[in-house]
Amino acid sequence: MKYITITTDQQLVFAETPVPELSADECLIRVKAIGVNRADILQRQGKYPAPKGESTILGLEVCGDIVACGSGVIDWKINDKVFGLVAGGGYAEYVVIKSSQLFCLPAIFTDQQGAGFAETFLTAYQSLFSIARLKAKQSVLIHAGASGVGCAAIALAKAKDCFVVVTAGSEEKCQACLTLGADVAINYHQNSFEQWQKAHAPEGFNVIIDVVGGDYLQKNINVAAVDGHLVILSILQGRYCEKVDMGKMLAKRISITASTLRNRSNNYKAELVADFKEDFGKLLGEGQLLPVIDTCYPWQNADKAHQRMLENSNIGKLVLTV
């Protein structure tokens, strides 16, 4: 099969490798579309290697057709249209996926929408509900609201009738977030979300989703509610915060969790998928949860997709079609 590999100078080129072999609890998928994630770029740069024992090929989520099932698979069959998570191996014509981590592609979904769903919505679901225990009608602050995870988090939080505030880096991105249902969108180049919170939401935010890191840690503590939860998913602005007011953390009883999804165990991911289906499966099947697709590229143009993400130009997901 063809797949995309990384050269020693970090270029993306096609190569060939054997089709992966199935385990008893896996399905072999003929890939039609691939979701692009920032983890792909970090791996390409040598900063985020694949978990031990997983494929070193780029790609964390795919959509396609089942062409073979392992001996222990009972819930899926050949020709089923599916999408799901992988810990690696997505940038290829074929990939194996644990059957417990598969979703049925809704009839109204395109392959591209399927490829853009799993990583973003499961990350958002994990952050909001599995970790932060978000309840209906609570308040949420989502940084990078126009990112793939940000768009998914808006949709899930609004499905629970929460008050959602986002930050984004342009008026276009702010408007996109408002269109998706966010109640307030703050352009961080023009306004301070800390000042907005003081003026308009003095009780603070129950849940904060952050991909920025750096000095946003203290800023997030400043705007958190009593018993608030801060979930850190990435560190785009840096690994370190020079000063942290732990007294304010104690006074507010803030919970801070740093989380990734890729290196979680298969059992954890299976349980997460099952929980998501129980809580939001009906909305997914009815087409009320849709990933926001920014741009689809032929997989020959994977480098262009990576470049667009590096430039922070995208609103929603970037997808490669095979």
Find how far residue 276's CA is from the centre of its chain: 14
Please state the rounded mean pLDDT for residues 183-197: 98
Q: Whole-prediction pTM value? A: 0.94
Alpha helices in the chain (DSSP H): 38-44, 111-115, 118-125, 148-159, 171-180, 193-200, 216-223, 246-252, 266-285, 302-310
pLDDT of the residue at 90: 98
pLDDT of the residue at 191: 97
Angle at 100 between CA 98 and CA 106, to 5 degrees: 105
* pLDDT interval class at 130 (50, 70, 90): very high
Q: What percent of the chain has pLDDT over 90?
A: 96
pLDDT of the residue at 300: 98
pLDDT of the residue at 276: 98
Element (H, E) at 6: strand 2-6
Burial of 68 (0-12, 13-18, 19+ CB in 10 A): middle
Of 252, 260, 33, 221, the residue nearest 141 (C-alpha)? 221
Of 66, 220, 233, the residue nearest 152 (C-alpha)? 233
Q: How many whole angstroms separate alpha carbon 276 and alpha carbon 173?
A: 27
111 phi and psi angles, rounded to 5 deg: -60, -35
pLDDT of the residue at 29: 98
Whether pLDDT at 263 is above 90: no
Residue 9: count of CB within 10 angstroms of its CB: 5
Q: How many whole angstroms separate alpha carbon 94 and alpha carbon 32?
A: 9
Extract the tokens encoding 215: 């000095």
4-46 residue pLDDT tens = 999 999 999 999 999 999 999 999 999 999 999 999 999 999 9
Q: What percent of the chain has pLDDT over 70?
A: 100
Extract the tokens encoding 103: 């979703």
Q: Is residue 103 within 8 Å of residue 117, measured between CB atoms? A: yes
8: β partners: none
* pLDDT interval class at 224 (50, 70, 90): very high
pLDDT of the residue at 264: 92
pLDDT of the residue at 23: 96
45-95 residue pLDDT tens = 999 999 999 999 999 999 999 999 999 999 999 999 999 999 999 999 999
272-321 residue pLDDT tens = 999 999 999 999 999 999 999 999 999 999 999 999 999 999 999 999 99
Please state the rounded mean pLDDT for residues 165-177: 97
